[in-house]
Amino acid sequence: MIAPVIVRTMIARPAGLTRAVPALYSLALAAIVLGPLLGPGYLLLRDAVSTPRSYLTDSALGLTDAAARAVPQDAAIAALTSVIDGGLVVKAILLSALWLAGWGAARMVAALLPTAGLGPQLLASTVLLWNPYVAERLLQGHWSLLTGYAALPWTVLAALRLRRSAAPLSPRSWCPLGLTLAAAGLTPTGALLATVLAAVLLALPGGAGARWSRLAVGAALAAAASAPWLTATALSGAGAQGSDPAGVAAFAARAEPGLGTLGSLAGLDGIWNSTAVPATRTGIFALVGTAVLLAVVACGLPALWRRRGNPVIAALAVVAAAAVLLPALAATGWGLTAGEWAATRVPGAGLLRDAQKWVALAAPFYALAAAAGAGALARIGGRVFGHDPRGRDSDGRPATAGRNRSAVAAAVGIVAVLVSLPDLAWGVGGALRPVHYPASWERVASQLPAADEGGDVAVLPSGMFRLFPYSGDTPVLDPAPRMLPEDVLQTGELIVAHGTVEGEGSRARDVERLLLAGGDADGLARLGVRWVLVEHSTPGPLGQSRRTLDQLDEAHADEELSLYRVAGSVEVTAADPARRAAAVAAHLLWAALLTGSALGLLAQRARGNRGRGRADQA
């Protein structure tokens, strides 16, 4: 039933809708993936936390002693949620990311394979959007990482424009790359993904302008896009502390059933968390699904090999191979040893420890190969059935059969990719569903700014993850740091299958130990704690904390939450005004790059439309 509909859509279409169909198709696929999450409520799943309102705390700016992993994401959400509900903001960003990922793949195919029709473009959209990488990152709660993933095909297009420009300093040339790098820069990992891809493509020989000039433009744009997390890391010093070497093995790529680590990564699979995978990837069907995806990709390799003279296509192939092979090597014994050495001695190396996330760099080439494969299969079919593969029937007359065969081949590929991962649909098998917070959170949040006192918030039970009755049976990141208008101390400690991975910094750990040991209130004050929040509806260690709580003033209490105040003076631990101003300036630079590039592209589009209108009138 699915294939005939797809074929009819690709063959019997008005010419004016050709460019619109990939965008509409990708939007429909994105809506099918997110499904129930698009209803009222908030995203709360593993690492993903959306709240009605977030605040521009030191944590949101990356100025605490923890690594700056969520900048400028948290600051941007804080700014947007001052006027828009946070649930809507996060869902809009996520839906846009998936939509743009699929649409960007189609546009990339149209640019690099100009003879490819609509069918191959839609197949490329399907491969980039409907795969295990997307499913597993959604289940892990890495919604903001998917903005960096979505930016990759658009980064290819932007780099192409800059390569073809003899004036790289012209806004017409650099605005597309500025926009894609800034969008990817919502997280540090996204910024690195897009920067690596852009750097490789801009460094290739050829192009209209000098290589050094376009590289200089790319470097300046990448620096602006990464300014928030680079500045936060430099100001806080968290990156120089090193990270727990235990995290290297804990977050290494993992082999799926029936597949080795290399096979899993080649199938865009293999996330470290075995519980954050779709049900169909937990058994032998993982082998089947990987074989289907790789078969669709492999069909296009001969066609791309014939185009190896195109440096961009060749570079995408090399990047894809490296994106699969290097994480696989990192999961070997000597790879883990090298990673542990780097984690403790190389500043910022902890950012690399989740090795499977870098396999995203293979996705653009996979999409391109799948599109080329549809055309190759169509040509094979044409030769088998007596048609000229160049698009003419055996009697020499122009024919539409070539387009029809390409559409059929693409439709078969689309159905195969969709069926190979059926539970990506409807919220990854229903796992992505909105939650509704109890009113207690809003009441507690309103207490803190009303008090207008300095000092941070400590939370009980200890630990970063929670099991609330309203969040289901999957551990979720504590929403308190994003729900409350004061900095909430978190140790960064992660409980994984084979032990514990410690976070950066020590103050939060000291506060946690004091509470569990039942220490005195003066100790909390010396550590900069003004408030202690107790979350009653989640299990977790409380230790002897009741002895400490009895020394504090109770500010709020209900069945969900209790809030306690530390009386007297509290040691100030907030970032000084100079550091905060520098961090805010870096975030504003990123925002200026994002909005300025977008406005520049809109202005270019408007001028182009006016020019075409005058030409039509003439």
Q: What is the pLDDT of residues 7-18, one digit of tens each?
A: 555 554 554 567
Task: With residue 361 as reference, give the H or E element that holds it.
Answer: none
Taking only the tens place, the pLDDT of each residue in 240-288 is 566 788 889 999 999 999 999 999 999 999 999 999 999 999 999 999 9
Which pLDDT belongs to residue 389?
46
Rounded to whole angstroms, the Cα distance separating 531 from 475 reads 24
Rounded to whole angstroms, the Cα distance separating 350 from 400 reads 54
Reading phi first (left if > 0) and then psi (alpha if -120 to 50, else beta), residue 342 is in: alpha
pLDDT for residue 367 is more than 50: yes
pLDDT, mean of residues 469-485: 95
Token pair in block for residue 133: 């990488």
Distances (CA, A) of 156 to 279, 286, 309, 383, 585: 33, 30, 17, 33, 29
Token pair in block for residue 317: 């192939």
Average pLDDT of the chain? Answer: 90
For the chain, state the CA radius of gyration: 26
Distances (CA, A) of 374 to 129, 153, 297, 369, 418: 17, 19, 10, 9, 16
Which pLDDT belongs to residue 291?
97
Give the CA diameter of the chain: 95
pLDDT, mean of residues 312-325: 98
Which pLDDT belongs to residue 422?
97
Top-confidence residue, 6 or 317: 317
Which pLDDT belongs to residue 377?
75
| 3-class DSSP string for 60-102 | CCCCCCCCCCCCCHHHHHHHHCCCCCHHHHHHHHHHHHHHHHH
Q: Please tell me what DSSP assigns to residue 514.
A: H
* Nearest in space to 51 (alpha carbons), one of 38, 41, 39, 65: 41
Which pLDDT belongs to residue 142?
98
Rounded to whole angstroms, the Cα distance separating 24 from 518 reads 58
Which pLDDT belongs to residue 451?
60
Q: What angle do CA 396, 402, 405 make, to 5 degrees?
A: 140
Q: Quick check: helix, strand or coil at residue 48? A: strand
Q: Please tell me what DSSP assigns to residue 276.
A: S
pLDDT band at 238 (very low <50, low <70, confident <90, very high): low
pLDDT, mean of residues 587-614: 87
Q: Which residues pair with 501 in a beta bridge?
A: 494
pLDDT for residue 220 is more than 90: yes
pLDDT, mean of residues 561-585: 93
| Amino acid present at 109 | V
Which pLDDT belongs to residue 343?
87
pLDDT band at 391 (very low <50, low <70, confident <90, very high): very low
pLDDT, mean of residues 334-361: 90
pLDDT band at 56 (very low <50, low <70, confident <90, very high): very high
Residue pair 143/90 in contact by the 8 Å Cβ criterion:
yes
Which pLDDT belongs to residue 527?
95
Q: Which residues contact 258 (CB under 8 A, 6 or more apart)?
A: 284, 286, 287
Which pLDDT belongs to residue 236?
79
Which pLDDT belongs to residue 9?
54
The burial of 370, by beta-carbon neighbours within 10 Å (0-12 exposed, 13-18 middle, 19 or more buried), is given as buried
Token pair in block for residue 178: 């500025």
pLDDT for residue 88 is more than 60: yes
Domain ranges of the chain: 2-154+247-430, 439-565
Which pLDDT belongs to residue 334?
94
Strands 561-565 and 529-535 come out as antiparallel
* Nearest in space to 552 (alpha carbons), one of 571, 528, 532: 532
Taking only the tens place, the pLDDT of each residue in 398-450 is 445 556 777 889 999 999 999 999 999 999 999 999 999 999 999 999 988 76
Residue pair 530/458 in contact by the 8 Å Cβ criterion:
no
Which pLDDT belongs to residue 66?
80
Distances (CA, A) of 82 to 50, 53, 76: 14, 7, 10
pLDDT band at 616 (very low <50, low <70, confident <90, very high): low
Taking only the tens place, the pLDDT of each residue in 490-506 is 988 887 766 678 777 78
Which pLDDT belongs to residue 401?
56
Which pLDDT belongs to residue 352?
87
Which pLDDT belongs to residue 397?
41
Which pLDDT belongs to residue 492?
82
Percent above pLDDT 70 for the chain: 89
- Provide the whole-model pTM: 0.94
